[in-house]
Structure 1
Amino acid sequence: MSLDLSERLMSVNGIDLHVTEVGSGEPLLMLHGLAVDATAQAHEIETLADSYRVIAPDLRGHGRSTRPTTFTLRDHVDDMIALLDMLGITRTAVLGGSMGSYVAQALALTVPQRVQKLILVVATSHGSTSSSARVRAEHADELRDLSPEEQQQWLNARLFAPETPESVRQQVRDWYISRYSLGLGMSAEQIEAANNAVVGFDFRGELPGLDIPTLLISGRHDILNPPAEGERIARLLPSARLEVFEHSGHLPSLEEPQHFLFSVRNFLAEQPISAG
């Protein structure tokens, strides 16, 4: 990468967060999904850093950040507020994918004055648990004798649109293999702790009062958070629009990368983001 890249551990709320920061300009906080970390967004981070100051933490319980045995969605929110404070950022755009979209919604509802724009990718507004935990529970008999890594590979195989190329599927498989080989994969207990953090979240009653420009991106073939979930959020928010990616499942940034980056850039460019 030609841009200056900073990776560091930052102490917040009694834990260490591993934070990647790259680029300059208006800030963009990027929040990853469950059981992955910021490196899963490497292509988007590198590409968007040519125009924005991208901040991409490994959320607590993930990647190179501290992995407590128990934590909550509010802990994620408090971590992000503390991180923004430490970086001197008063307002930022926030892009969250899957579980990261739950954290993004909770952050915006908690401190709306600090969120200039929202990009919610394969999002839902409520759930009794994470969407991946729900799908695993529905196939518990099939998964019973599989290791956590094997269960993740089983789930990964079902995340894509039918027409997604094998090269993209292999890219995801290789990413997980590399994280486990580096000792950064998640154990069954760690995945359970991450799932427990989002048990019983429900933003539906609060979203109508959140008047923040929002872009929702859903994948037509997503089995975890299908387009109907994005449509529900778009109806609830006063200033939101939904784009359904017709050739994507749960990973539109990988399945339709050019379309994804075009949509994100256009949305962010529609009006300036006020930096802190």
Structure 2
Amino acid sequence: MSSLERIVFGTTADTNADADATTHSTSALLRQGGRPGSPTVLLVHPANLRARCWRTVLAALPADWRCVAVDLSGHGASPRRAGYGPARWVSECVALLDALDVARVHVVGASVGAAVAVELAAAHPDRVASVTTVGGAFRAAEPADTREFLAAIAEVGVRQAVLDVLADEPGLDEALFAAVAADISVNPDDTAAAIWTAAAAAAGLDAAPRVRCPTLAIVGDGDRGCPVADSRAFADLTGGRLAVLVGHGHLPMYTAPARVAAYIASLVDGTRPHQPRRDPERAVNP
């Protein structure tokens, strides 16, 4: 795989009635494509993880593709900001595309990153060529579940709270569990709570009817937080495809990176004016 480089770019300013505008920076990992005209893929991580959660998927995507994985504000190497949520994160993604002079992009988003991808496609249809979701956050979380996770953050901190949720995640062996642990974005409790509150309210299905590009919803059959039914609803609303990964849970970018990459490639190639690659073996949709 071509090497990843860390880039930093300016994003839209925060303003309020009592303060001057402040320009913020956002960080991303960039892999330059090897051929002019090859597609650009933007990858958006789940809440409380970071851009590098996509590293094994990136390694399996075609080497000539230009790929960029963003650290949303409050995650990874991007600084904390006042206020979080899909609308803010969409604006950061648009700023990234502008900074890289990318006119049109294939967007891949996992969990709340999927909600960001859907909102991006709905708000900027001229900029998005396709959307792939991975364990997409298509409905707001139950209030009781949100309260329980916020209480866990207050009690043990965000890192341990996330790990406790993933303790029996399907397909996540000891080595992969350690990889996820290393990728968690550790923030002060108030920041972690603000990010999770915003993520829990994300409902990608709300924007789905306004998506006009090809779509693909990838989901593990063991995903408890973002179940198969929600991804199926998104696929139905957008006229897209559904790929169910049997034996996997909420994080197939860790547990099945080659299959995730193959599905992404099949969608991207299907939108391009040449003979697409043969689709990867389809899982049976329950």
TM-score bracket, normalised by the shorter chain, equals: 0.7 to 0.9
Q: Does 1:185 align with 2:186?
A: yes
Q: Does 1:172 align with 2:185?
A: no
Structure 2 unmatched ranges of 5 or more: 13-22, 274-286
Match of 1:224 in 2: 225
Q: Residues of 2 paired with 1:141 and 1:76: CA distance?
A: 25
Deviations 1:16-66 (A, max 9, x none): 111111031310000000001011111112332613100111011101101
Match of 1:23 in 2: 32
Q: Residues of 1 paired with 2:62 and 2:29: CA distance?
A: 11
Match of 1:251 in 2: 251
Deviations 1:87-136 (A, max 9, x none): 1111110000111101101111110111001101101323157xxx8646
Cα contact 2:44–2:70 (8 A) shared by 1: yes
Q: Does 1:263 align with 2:263?
A: yes
CA 1:270–1:119: 2 relative to 1, 3 Å:
same
Cα contact 2:222–2:246 (8 A) shared by 1: yes
Identity of aligned residues (%): 22
CA 1:144–1:76: 2 relative to 1, 3 Å:
closer
Give runs of ≥4 in structure 1 deviating > 6 Å.
139-144
Pairwise CA RMSD: 2.5
One-letter code of the match for 2:241?
R
CA 1:192–1:137: 2 relative to 1, 3 Å:
same
Q: Does 1:147 align with 2:160?
A: no
One-letter code of the match for 1:92?
V
Deviations 1:55-90 (A, max 9, x none): 111011101101114233211111111111111111
Q: Residues of 2 paired with 1:245 and 1:31: CA distance?
A: 20
Deviates more, 1:16-25 or 1:257-266: 257-266
- Residue 179 of structure 1 and its aligned partner are, at CA, apart by 5.3
Cα contact 2:109–2:133 (8 A) shared by 1: yes
Q: Residues 22-61 of structure 1: matches in 2 within 5 Å? A: 22-24=31-33, 25-48=38-61, 50-61=63-74
SS in 2 for 1:43: helix
SS in 1 for 2:79: coil
Match of 2:129 in 1: 116
CA 1:38–1:203: 2 relative to 1, 3 Å:
closer
Cα contact 1:31–1:101 (8 A) shared by 2: yes
Q: Report how many aligned residue pairs link the two structures.
A: 259
Q: Residues of 2 paired with 1:82 and 1:141: CA distance?
A: 34
SS in 1 for 2:7: strand
One-letter code of the match for 2:131?
L
CA 1:51–1:148: 2 relative to 1, 3 Å:
same
Q: Normalised by the size of structure 2, how large is the TM-score?
A: 0.81
- Residue 190 of structure 1 and its aligned partner are, at CA, apart by 1.9
CA 1:79–1:46: 2 relative to 1, 3 Å:
same
Q: Normalised by the size of structure 1, how large is the TM-score?
A: 0.84
Deviations 1:129-163 (A, max 9, x none): 7xxx86463477777742332212101214x22xx
CA 1:146–1:244: 2 relative to 1, 3 Å:
same
CA 1:207–1:59: 2 relative to 1, 3 Å:
same
